[in-house]
Amino acid sequence: LRQRQPEKRFDEAAVRFYASEVVVALEYLHMMGIIYRDLKPENVLIRSDGHIMLTDFDLSLKCDNSTSTAQLVSDQNPPITSPSNDYPNEPPPFASSSCIIPNCMVPAVSCFHSKRKHRRRPRHRGAPEIVAEPIDARSMSFVGTHEYLAPEIVSGEGHGNAVDWWTLGIFIFEMLYGVTPFKGIDNEFTLANIVA
């Protein structure tokens, strides 16, 4: 689709829409303990309904259960009770710990994690939040398309889910400008530009 756009670029509204769809897809993969590692326009398909679908999971890394977390975190406040008694047979909001509907969740997904473990406080008192990212997942693999590689992959430091957020930035840049930001005259120059 990008190849058919004027100058291989999308307008800003289309970029915002497709980028937001990719963010949702990446957050879902991270919640499932998967680091995608191959985000690029060729791997993002547009369905007939206009929404996106990620493809080509060859380079993806599935984290084991010990390094992946998807948990409901809430503060210690008592449940909120209904101010009126109009519906006495209905449970009050947030009364159940299994409340898993969008109206009662505040997503809190962090892209970068420090080495020390800590929990984020919920943004809204009484509202549960979901923390869903592969916290300690690290890979030493050198995988991906050169123009989209994150600096930690190029330098061989090991990488985690942050590489997906790096490639999202490259993806957005390419949709806006029709080229990737670090492309050099060959792969060696491209990699040098990334770590410079």
The C-alpha atoms of residue 163 and residue 111 are separated, in whole angstroms, by: 9
Encoded amino acid at 49, one letter: D
Long-range contacts at 175-180 (CB < 8 A, ≥ 24 apart): 175/2, 175/9, 175/10, 175/14, 175/15, 175/18, 175/19, 175/41, 176/9, 176/10, 176/12, 176/15, 177/9, 178/2, 178/7, 178/8, 178/9, 180/147, 180/148
Among candidate residues 38, 49, 58, 186, the one labeled active-site is 38
Query: Among 183, 137, 182, 172, which Cα is nearest to 36's?
Result: 137
The C-alpha atoms of residue 97 and residue 119 are separated, in whole angstroms, by: 18
Structure tokens at 64: 């084991």
Residue 75 annotated among the catalytic residues of the structure: no
Active site residues: 38
